Structure 1
Amino acid sequence: MLLNDGRPWLGANFWSRAGGPLMWRRYDPDLIRRELAVLREHGMNLTRSFFYWPDFMPEPDRIDEDLLARYADFLDRHTEAGMRTVPTFLVGHMSGENWDPAWRGDRDLYADVRLVARQAWYVRELTARFRGHDAVAGWLISNEMPIYGEPSTRDTVTAWAELMVQAVRAGGGTQPVSVGDGAWGIEVTGRDNGFSVRDLAAITDFVGPHVYRMENDVVRQHLTAAFVCELAGGFDRPVVLEEFGVTDNFVSAEHARHYYRQILHNTLLAGATGWIAWNNTDFDDLYDQEPYRHHPFEMRFGVTDSAGRPKPQLEEVRDFAAVLDRVDLPGCTRPPARAGLVVPSYLEHAYPFTEDSDRTYLFDVLRQSYVATRAADLPVALLRERDGITPGLALYLVPSAKQLTAPAWRTLARLAEDGATVYVSYSPGGNGVQRGPWYADLNGMFGVEHGLRYGLVDPITDDEVTVGFVRSFGPLAEGTELRVRAGGDEHNRAYLPVRPTEAEVVAVDAHGRPVLLQRRTGAGRVVLCTHPLEHMAAALPRVNPEPTYAIYDALADLAGVDRPVTVADPLVHAGGLSHRDGRRFVWLVSQSPDELTVRPAVRGKLTDLAGGAPVDEVTLQPYGVRVLHLTPES
């Protein structure tokens, strides 16, 4: 965890409202003092700041001394305010515009030896100038370099990034450093832009996702940043949500408040330990300046307005800061998960003769599965197949799976033998290339005989799939019916026709065909779902909460996964943190647009975080959050 005076990083990306990216030409120390003061008064302790490259390096061998003096004053203003900043060196992209130093020409930013050398010199010189200032909390090499420098090859980008990090160290910088690329690499998105999160994490000190998503489902929107943090957090580095935010042009004041609240608390529960909002202020007076002239919605991303007044977003940051202090976040960790969500290696590796959509399909499927785990109050660890599927968990989820490698299927079968519950839902995949289940031993592993025809799928023709339980399954009693909307296209809106051999049928569809089957094996079980429930939901707008969470809830119950606090209503998600002094904290996060009152099921006792009063019933405001203290059963 990265700390400022014992507190986690919490702040805003900063451009003064007098100039935006051109602020260093119009530098106003008194205005900077006022702008920082309002952020500090609302719990922020950090900014991310920017060396606008065309201005700071007007010639290949010269850095502008006047601007360096202004930046030094900027650092002093931070010290005065009790704040720190993270300088960003190579700022050639910002808010819908790319700017080059006048001398760059058409040289490749990553591969041209002369240009890479000049970048390294620039980074080293700036680091040497400011390395000793108490206000410097860390360093960022770039701002969204995949947009500015464009994608490149993985080897080229990693070599460039390593040289830039070495330049920071050569300049005497000992503070944490990262790339500033947005964590948009293949390990998160399934798209290879050359900026491998895995490779870059190995040479940097933290991972910094930038998340601005256009979605069609409110719950997915509120949980996508959390899911991205989970994906980015598997490389043994702290995760700082380096950019997130909303523009007033796209969201009302009330919903902006909801969005900030949801993003902050959900990413905390997903393992993020730092947050830097985009951005500190609105830019109404810069309407005739690039990039705001042609991207006018970019003028209204601030947590303060163009007169410096706090907006609802900043009030949410203030309230979040108070929660972080009350639970003493630096002393907290996430409780170890007893369930795992398997991330196929096909997300981050282009195997021979596979399709790009084999990877991008996985992001949507895995995210929807993650949403269902949250609705089931089921903490999960993301298990990357490439790093080996962690043994010893009680439950393994493999949602809407077309592809795992053959050794991974063997591992899962062995884990079931050893006592785990392994759940796999079928999918023929997201395209028509080798469409079908790439399983090592479908019939043997699941105790069925499949009835697939080569090159064809068995389409789901009903708009709604009935999952009717013919025997009890954890808390789901015999006779229970779940109704699942069917989404997808000609390739993946399809079921797996099977006949049980060793497996027992747990649930059937409206046509009497098996939907859920269970095969006992050794000390555990494998559960096969013949319909791609997670994919069908991922393909639909405004679908959440959807019934897959009830199956996950039953799986957790059957597997014996410990869940100290659960809520029957899937619109309220329970999560938690544990403190090293033995305290435990519970978050209740509502995904309802209306006020909700719930009675959590608790293994122990809940008390108010402030006064210690017992809590049996909780009323949550629309999209509200409540944090409570949990005393577990003795």
Structure 2
Amino acid sequence: MSVRRVNPVRPQPRFGANYTPSVGWFHHWLDFELDEVRRDFESLAALGLDHVRVFPLWPLFQPNRTMIRGRAVEQLGQLVDAADEHGLDVTVDALQGHLSSFDFVPAWLTTWHRRNMFTDPDVVEAEARYVETLAASLAERPNFIGMTLGNEVNQFSDRPHPDPDPCTYDQAGRWLERLLAACERGAPGKLHVHSEYDAVWFQPGHPFTPAHASQLGGATTVHAWVFNGTAQRHGRAGPATVHHAEYLMELSRAWADVPGRPVWLQEVGAPAPLVPAEHAAEFVTATVENALTCEDLYGVTWWCSHDVSRRLADFPELEYSLGLLTSERELKPQGKAVAEMVARVRAGTAPGPVRRRTALVLDAGDAMTAPGRATCAPGGEFYEAWAGLAGDGVRAAVVLAERAADTEYLAGRGIEEVVGVGGQ
């Protein structure tokens, strides 16, 4: 695992939104209207946000294995420039991939041309060329943060995907390293990362592992969704629910192999009906306040910027109401709550990072493959023990069992007490 860079963490965490265009959703690339994009960015800048995460649709940008559309790349550059006009920096996801229950995979990977996106040599070469092209096209723009390889691309590698591209732990690691290296060639020194949904932390045998997430790339990204069994078990305001993002960030730190590695809360949202609309604002405040207690927090990027229009069919119901603003760019209570949190952070009146002197010991088996990681999932023994500590007011760190007796390591993290699950 040689591709990693620890970027300096800003004095204050960044705040942004995952950009879902108010007009046309991500299909806006088909009828790209720069003025609509500008109006969206204006509505986000008004909240005090400093960045957006944007999503080119892979089949539209690379419709053939040997063809990357220059016009599409040019439009991406125009979008990044429009963000700069409104004081917004931009991070770009490449392999889209999977968005809000829909898969966007090029035709040259499916049906009659079915090939494995993680292991086929020709496919991986084409993917590397694509991510490098996007990175290089933006490298000189001052508001370009860097690349994310794709949105939760690990969902293609394993169940419950209906048509997975299976790979092994070693193959997943090589794929990540190669594509991250391609991003670095295209835009040296930028913040290049990868992202996974929570199977990476919870699902035994899943080829993408906590070690991959916490050791490769310039930061660890966390996608914290409470519809994964958390809110169902603990309710909208239970400690496990409002501390879920904090939990995943602390869980990731147990696998980090360099001190001070940034952790980016890259996706978090208030999904109805588990978090009813009338309680979304308080969920925002509690979740972000708890996240801010984590050390080395790079930033918080809320999902998402604007609601999906009801004119578009077949989305899961919750996807229509996740925006900080409506699809008419009207401010919603959760948008107001995010803006208030941003103002508090900038004014120095929000919670800050705390030194976690107590650590809960996690035994998930081999540190690289984590065969026992089901214990970390909602309902798992470790998960429920950590949530119980949170409910008691304990800001607990997480330490792997193999490091629990390493006094130098513990001291470096400021840990003074280690406790086992069940208080042992």
- Give TM-score scaled by structure 1 length: 0.57
Instruction: Give the match for residue 371 of structure 1.
Output: 387
1:383-394 map, 5 Å = 383-391=399-407, 394=416
Instruction: Give the match for residue 375 of structure 2.
Output: 361
2:327 to 299, 306, 329: 306
Instruction: Give the match for residue 587 of structure 1.
Output: none
Q: 1:135 to 1:183 in 2, by over 3 A?
A: farther
Q: 1:143 to 1:265 in 2, by over 3 A?
A: same
* 1:574-615 CA-partner distances (Å, limit 9, x unpaired): xxxxxxxxxxxxxxxxxxxxxxxxxxxxxxxxxxxxxxxxxx
Q: 1:333 to 1:211 in 2, by over 3 A?
A: closer
Is 1:52 aligned to 2:57, yes or no?
yes
State the 1:321 CA deviation: 0.9
Contact 2:304 2:323 in 1 (8 A): yes
Secondary structure of 1:322's counterpart equals: helix
State the 1:96 CA deviation: 0.7
State the 1:340 CA deviation: 2.1
Q: 1:79 to 1:294 in 2, by over 3 A?
A: closer
Counterpart-to-counterpart distance in 2, 1:153 and 1:80: 44
Counterpart-to-counterpart distance in 1, 2:7 and 2:288: 16
Contact 1:8 1:329 in 2 (8 A): no
State the 1:164 CA deviation: 0.2
State the 1:374 CA deviation: 2.8
State the 1:249 CA deviation: 5.2
1:100-139 map, 5 Å = 100-104=105-109, 105-139=113-147
1:400-549 map, 5 Å = 400=422, 423-424=423-424
Secondary structure of 2:93's counterpart equals: strand
Instruction: Give the match for residue 97 of structure 2.
Output: 92
Contact 1:383 1:389 in 2 (8 A): no
Q: 1:165 to 1:328 in 2, by over 3 A?
A: farther
Is 1:270 aligned to 2:294, yes or no?
yes
Secondary structure of 1:241's counterpart equals: strand
1:160 to 157, 175, 179: 175
Instruction: Give the match for residue 162 of structure 2.
Output: none
Contact 1:342 1:389 in 2 (8 A): no
Residue range with higher mean Cα deviation, 248-257 or 173-182: 248-257
2:245 to 220, 225, 242: 225
Is 1:29 aligned to 2:50, yes or no?
no
Q: 1:397 to 1:389 in 2, by over 3 A?
A: same
Secondary structure of 2:107's counterpart equals: coil
Counterpart-to-counterpart distance in 2, 1:284 and 1:15: 10
State the 1:78 CA deviation: 0.9
* 1:431-488 CA-partner distances (Å, limit 9, x unpaired): xxxxxxxxxxxxxxxxxxxxxxxxxxxxxxxxxxxxxxxxxxxxxxxxxxxxxxxxxx
Counterpart-to-counterpart distance in 2, 1:143 and 1:362: 22
5+ unaligned residues in a row in structure 2: which ranges?
A: 1-5, 159-165
Q: 1:202 to 1:5 in 2, by over 3 A?
A: closer
* 1:401-459 CA-partner distances (Å, limit 9, x unpaired): xxxxxxxxxxxxxxxxxxxxxx41xxxxxxxxxxxxxxxxxxxxxxxxxxxxxxxxxxx
2:285 to 251, 261, 267: 261
Instruction: Give the match for residue 163 of structure 2.
Output: none
Counterpart-to-counterpart distance in 2, 1:84 and 1:328: 24
State the 1:326 CA deviation: 2.2
Secondary structure of 1:85's counterpart equals: strand
Q: 1:318 to 1:96 in 2, by over 3 A?
A: same
1:600-615 map, 5 Å = none
Counterpart-to-counterpart distance in 2, 1:49 and 1:4: 22
Amino acid at match of 2:207: G
Bigger fraction of residues in strand? 1
Bigger fraction of residues in helix? 2
Secondary structure of 2:78's counterpart equals: helix
Is 1:205 aligned to 2:229, yes or no?
no
1:238 to 249, 254, 262: 262
1:340 to 347, 359, 362: 359
Secondary structure of 2:174's counterpart equals: helix
Secondary structure of 1:11's counterpart equals: strand
State the 1:11 CA deviation: 0.8
2:306 to 278, 281, 301: 281
Counterpart-to-counterpart distance in 2, 1:110 and 1:65: 25
Instruction: Give the match for residue 397 of structure 1.
Output: 419
Q: 1:333 to 1:171 in 2, by over 3 A?
A: same
Contact 2:99 2:151 in 1 (8 A): yes
Q: 1:117 to 1:286 in 2, by over 3 A?
A: farther
1:179 to 194, 212, 236: 194
Instruction: Give the match for residue 70 of structure 1.
Output: 75
- The percentage of counterpart residues that share the same residue type is 21
Amino acid at match of 1:238: P
Secondary structure of 2:55's counterpart equals: strand
Contact 1:183 1:232 in 2 (8 A): no
State the 1:194 CA deviation: 1.3
Residue range with higher mean Cα deviation, 191-200 or 229-238: 191-200
Counterpart-to-counterpart distance in 2, 1:389 and 1:204: 28
5+ unaligned residues in a row in structure 1: which ranges?
A: 401-422, 425-634
Q: 1:200 to 1:221 in 2, by over 3 A?
A: closer
Which structure is higher in RCO with an 8 Å CA cutoff and minimum separation 6?
Answer: 2
Instruction: Give the match for residue 323 of structure 1.
Output: 344
Counterpart-to-counterpart distance in 1, 2:310 and 2:203: 39
Counterpart-to-counterpart distance in 2, 1:55 and 1:253: 34
State the 1:264 CA deviation: 0.8
State the 1:239 CA deviation: 1.0
Contact 2:15 2:50 in 1 (8 A): yes
1:241-252 map, 5 Å = 241-248=265-272, 250-252=274-276
Secondary structure of 1:261's counterpart equals: helix
* 1:197-246 CA-partner distances (Å, limit 9, x unpaired): 31343331111111212332122211222111110123142111111112
Counterpart-to-counterpart distance in 2, 1:27 and 1:223: 39
Counterpart-to-counterpart distance in 2, 1:88 and 1:316: 26
Contact 2:135 2:146 in 1 (8 A): no
State the 1:153 CA deviation: 1.1
Counterpart-to-counterpart distance in 1, 2:244 and 2:213: 22
Contact 1:18 1:26 in 2 (8 A): no
Counterpart-to-counterpart distance in 2, 1:192 and 1:328: 43
